[in-house]
Structure 1
């Protein structure tokens, strides 16, 4: 049922694995290395066709300085923060409550409601582009950070509910029964008993949702336009003018935009791994 560990494979299989692993790693890292190299090239390298050779000069401070001080990149980054953080808080908070209700209580229609939450994950999000855009326009939320936040919260709650409900179902139900015997109110059971046990899952889900929302590009260009509400993923394209694509500045902006999710993961790494493996459940 499960693949045999590489340590138990034949010597030929181990040698093949050890030989191909560095190659696969290089191929996976090559686009990232290319973006990093492009970010320190001068514009003349692109006009002269010097894409993969050594840069004619290293323009690290010049390129990144222009990204931070001669563009709207700080504003786009702040927009991403204002969009991503409330979305993570809203989606995780709603999923904790819905996961508790669907995972603890037994009532008619429980499974149907749960399926309705997760059904949206199977709908290709591209087909929602026109109705969602028309809805935000009619509600006066087009090209606003609030409109993007509300949409992301609604769209992410289904996946988050699936995650939280399955986590809560794995908790020891005896704790909740013991609290009920003692006469503890249901909201106190949720707040003081279940929620502390959910901290690893909350951390793991927060990292996932933060990464999803921060890296979103499709809905950023569908529901916003201009620096007033656009997040950083859509704002990077502002470095392209009508006749010139400034790849060196786009690459530098991409590196800057990728740093917050990476930092978020490393800060929450211990909780993230514990939440995915359910290792905190005793």
Structure 2
């Protein structure tokens, strides 16, 4: 049923695994290394076509300082934070309430409502481009941070509800019944019993959703036009002008834009792993 551990495989399989794993790692890291090397090249290297060789002039400080000095990347990063943080809070809050209702209460439409949340995740988001844009125009939210926040909350709540409902459903139902016998209200059960028990799951889900929203490029360019609300993923494209290509600055900006989700993951690594493995063992 489960894959055989590599230690129990044949010598040929173990040899292929040891040879293929470093190769796969190099292929996976090659684009990241290329971007990192480009971020410290000079413009002369890019003009001469020196994309993969060692830089003829190392411009680490010059390129990274130029990104903050000559481009509005600091504003873009601030906009991304203004989109990602409220989205995480809103999606987590709604999904916890919906997950509690679907995981604790038994009613006839329980499974149908749950499938409704799950089914939304299978809709290709590209087909929503025109109706979502028209809706944002009618509501007067187009080209604003609020449009991105509301859309991401609506779109991410389905996945978050699926995630939280399964975790809450696995909690011992006897704890909830005991709290009810003691006279606790449903809100007190939710706030003082359920939420503390699913705290690792909340941490894991927060990291995932923050990363999803931070890396979004599609909706950043569909719902936003001006620099006043453009997230960093959409703002990086503006570092190249119509006639001038500054790929060394784009690469430096890309490295800077990737730092916040990486930092959050390492800061919450313990909680993230605990949340993903919660309920993996019984007894």
Q: Structure 1, residues 77-102: CA drift from partner, whole Å, max 9, x if none?
A: 00000110000000001100000000
Please give the alpha-carbon distance, in whole angstroms, between the structure 2 residues aligned to 1:170 and 1:45.
57
Q: Where in structure 1 are there 5+ consecutive unaligned residues?
A: none
Q: Does 1:104 align with 2:87?
A: no
The residue aligned with 1:88 is 88
Cα shift at 1:32: 0.3
The residue aligned with 1:218 is 218
The residue aligned with 1:261 is 261
- 1:227-242 to structure 2, matched below 5 A, reads 227-242=227-242
CA contact (8 A) 2:170 2:279 kept: no
Please give the alpha-carbon distance, in whole angstroms, between the structure 2 residues aligned to 1:50 and 1:184.
69
Cα shift at 1:226: 1.9
The residue aligned with 2:250 is 250
CA contact (8 A) 2:202 2:275 kept: yes
Please give the alpha-carbon distance, in whole angstroms, between the structure 2 residues aligned to 1:255 and 1:21.
25
Q: Structure 1, residues 58-110: CA drift from partner, whole Å, max 9, x if none?
A: 11111100111221000000000011000000000110000000000011211
CA contact (8 A) 1:67 1:73 kept: yes
Cα shift at 1:280: 9.2
Please give the alpha-carbon distance, in whole angstroms, between the structure 2 residues aligned to 1:221 and 1:105.
41
The residue aligned with 1:115 is 115
The residue aligned with 2:59 is 59
Secondary structure of the structure 1 residue equivalent to 2:202: helix
- 1:97-176 to structure 2, matched below 5 A, reads 97-176=97-176
Superposition TM-score, scaled by structure 2 size: 0.98
Secondary structure of the structure 1 residue equivalent to 2:121: helix
Q: Structure 1, residues 98-146: CA drift from partner, whole Å, max 9, x if none?
A: 0000000011211111111111101000000000001001111001001
Cα shift at 1:21: 0.7
Please give the alpha-carbon distance, in whole angstroms, between the structure 2 residues aligned to 1:144 and 1:16.
52
- 1:73-84 to structure 2, matched below 5 A, reads 73-84=73-84
Please give the alpha-carbon distance, in whole angstroms, between the structure 1 residues aligned to 2:53 and 2:273.
39
Secondary structure of the structure 2 residue equivalent to 1:122: coil
Q: Structure 1, residues 17-44: CA drift from partner, whole Å, max 9, x if none?
A: 1111111100100000000000001111
Q: Where in structure 2 are there 5+ consecutive unaligned residues?
A: none
Please give the alpha-carbon distance, in whole angstroms, between the structure 2 residues aligned to 1:9 and 1:118.
38
CA contact (8 A) 1:274 1:280 kept: no
RMSD: 1.1
Please give the alpha-carbon distance, in whole angstroms, between the structure 1 residues aligned to 2:53 and 2:140.
50
Please give the alpha-carbon distance, in whole angstroms, between the structure 2 residues aligned to 1:170 and 1:74.
43
